[in-house]
Amino acid sequence: MTRVLAVATFVYDFLFGDDWRLALGVGVGLGLVVLADRVGLGRLWWLLPVAVLVTLVASLRRASRTS
């Protein structure tokens, strides 16, 4: 059980350790791409890289304001 707990702790720290907004933005982008594919709009794969880029830029702007 300790290995399962260690893996779960690692995954949590990896995803939410620095900025939970990054994980949320990527998760929402991934969800949008999956939803678009389920509806039959598989050609909207480019939404995920755009979501990652927008989330990264927003995170960098927040970081530059706090330093």
What's the whole-model pTM score?
0.68
**Domain ranges in the chain?**
18-66
Please give the Cα distance from 38 to 19 (Å, whole number): 29
Euclidean distance between CA atoms 55 and 29, whole angstroms: 10
Over the stretch 44-64, which tens digit does the pLDDT of each residue have?
999 999 999 999 899 889 889
The per-residue pLDDT for 39 is 94
Give 13-56 pLDDT, tens digit per residue: 877 776 788 888 888 999 999 999 999 998 999 999 999 999 98
